[in-house]
A and B are shown apart, each in its own frame.
Chain A
Amino acid sequence: MSSTATRLYGLTAQFDSEEKLVEAARMIFASGYRRIDAFSPYPIEGLAEIIGQKRSAAPLIMLIGGITGAVTGYGMELYAMGYFYPLNIGGRPLNSWPLFIPITFELAVLFSALAGMVALLVLNRLPCLYHPLFSVPDFQRASTDQFFLCVESAHPGFDSDHIRELFGRLNAIAITEVRSG
């Protein structure tokens, strides 16, 4: 790896248990670092909050999707049955709303679920088939049984030596400098 042509992405530390990762995340966050992320093979409750991630915007996006779906569904039915192609069947009102509810409901669910999928991808910046972290030794075990913490160099006042020292005190199994190029 030619280090002259590449840029420092961040520093990672590897841990072998959930508890150590959570402890490390707490300490690094308390030391003032903000551009940090933690990697685990399964969701760990509260970890995102520890590293400063506030509420997810996904529920709002899905709610907007659902409302859009409902309005689209009802609007389409009312337009087609009441205005564009009015049919008088047994004297029923043109805006026969009880009969329009099933499709309104289905489209609300459909749009909301699709909005959820889009929200998941956009908020997580996926798909992202290449990432500098994939070059960290053993990082593939983050999807089986290892736990990683990364401090990104984008943090203003990123101090490589200080972080190394902190990671060392936290008994990290391995500390790796990640470069992107």
Chain B
Amino acid sequence: MTTKTLIKVIWYALLALLILLMLAPIAWMISTSFKPETEIATIDVNWIPRNFTTENYERVFERFAILRWTLNSLIVSSAATALVLLLDSLAGYALARMHFAGRSVIFGIILSMLFVPMQITVVPLFLMFAEVDLTDTYLALVLPVGANVTGVFLMRQFFLNIPYELEDAARVDGASTLRIWWSVVLPLAKPALTAVAIVTFLSTWNSFFWPLIATRTDASRTLPVGIAQFMSLRPGQAQGAQAYGQAMAGAVIAALPPIIVFYMLQRYFIEGISMTGIKG
């Protein structure tokens, strides 16, 4: 009885410590973002700002196109997700349910690209898009996402496991293959489509390396690339404090929407991630 209680007390103490360690940095980010410059550069820890101000946010909106970056990120991530769902469910269906010459060779070549790091494609991609003058456009950010491998793999795996009878029934009714894919197979594939959609949207939303290279102006700059600019506000230690208030305000603006969406949809998030993590 007493050891059991003791274990429980220790467990809850550790739980509290864990929650604190994981969430305190985020709380501190929010707290700093509402402080004036003078209150930031001190060794006094005020979790609640003593001189509450929204000045940092006003400055951020004034000096940076942060809303434009967010809009760019939304457009690019949505377009990339739609593209991936369309291409991968078509290709995955063919690879899983149809017989044709070269199927395993094609699938093998697609899968082999899993081992090729995307960094190797970045220099050629940049030169290709520069050649046709399409760097710094949405197209340059969206199209390479359409070439992803995990989505095709996941869709194929899913299609392998749906029963043939449903397709056969539709075929007897005279439906075309495209029609069967659209109105029989896709509705069944909702779990896989959801997982692929979430993972594609998230990875595009968070993608940094390629957008950093491909974008030049606010017209196409995505949120992660924009946020990185806040650190260039930090020329030396002396000016640091002034910059951190604005940097934290920018970080809060970028961080809150995903956190809120995550708290609302956390089950789908975690399912999507464990599904692709294990199988990809």
Instruction: Specify whether A and B are partners.
Output: no
